[in-house]
A = this chain, B = another copy of it.
Amino acid sequence: MLNKTRGRPRGNPDTKARIAEAARELFLAHGYKGTTVRAVAAAASVDSALISYHFGSKQGLFGQSLNLLCVESTALDQALQGDQAGLADRLLTSVTSLWDATEPTENRMALQDADTMRAFRDYLESELLVRIAEFLGGPDATERATAAVGVIGGLIFTRYLNPIRSIAALPSAEVRRIFGPALRAALHARVRQR
């Protein structure tokens, strides 16, 4: 395509990294389906066959170029300290501050990938849920934590992952105001008799 003399090039240019970076940009800008392998190859000044060679497939390129880990948990640590009364607000704050801080445009579509979905799920169920349950303590702790994770997961989903306009548009203070009651109820409500 771009007459770059066949065969291995001189030196050891890290072409794979260059491809990954170009891919990341394009994926974030145009989404998965909107990004063609050939476009990535062109952006990296490379033959399109190279990406099959280095990453196996377009799926593989996607997974490897977006190794965004969703959550760093220092915010969660802070939220899980203090009185229970303010817990809901602190949790909501940590969620919004954490996700609102990520890049402006739709890097949210990264969750379309199966692996990323799984990572997110694992985080919710083996990190968030157990730590909230620990903090709550008492009977029904697990069940209340389950409800809370459902609410928080819903917020993340409807605001960031698959953003519904009316929720995504809310300033974070409004998020606290509107989701507060539901989350408080989930965390603290006496669950009805079985």
A residues at B contact (CB < 8 Å)? 31-33, 109, 112-114, 117-118, 120-121, 124-125, 129, 142-144, 146-147, 149-155, 157-159, 161-167, 170, 177-186, 189, 191-192, 194
Contacts and interface: CB of A to CB of B under 8 A. Distances in A.
A112 B179 CA distance: 26
Contacts of A114: 31-33, 109, 112
Contact of A120 (B121, B153, B162, B181): B162
Contacts of A191: 177-178, 181
Contacts of A144: 178
Nearest to A192: B177
A124 B182 CA distance: 18
B182 A125 contact: no
Contact of A157 (B157, B178, B180): B157
B142 A166 contact: yes
A22 B120 CA distance: 30
8 nearest A-B residue pairs (beta carbon): A154-B154, A181-B189, A185-B185, A182-B186, A181-B185, A125-B164, A157-B157, A182-B182
20 contacts: A32-B114, A33-B114, A112-B112, A112-B117, A118-B162, A121-B164, A125-B165, A147-B179, A150-B155, A150-B158, A150-B167, A150-B178, A151-B154, A152-B154, A154-B157, A157-B158, A177-B191, A178-B191, A179-B186, A185-B185
How many copies the complex holds: the figure is: 2
A121 B163 contact: yes
Nearest to A165: B125
A100 to B, nearest CB: 16
Contacts of A147: 178-179, 181-182
Contacts of A124: 158, 164
A91 B16 CA distance: 49
A91 B179 CA distance: 18
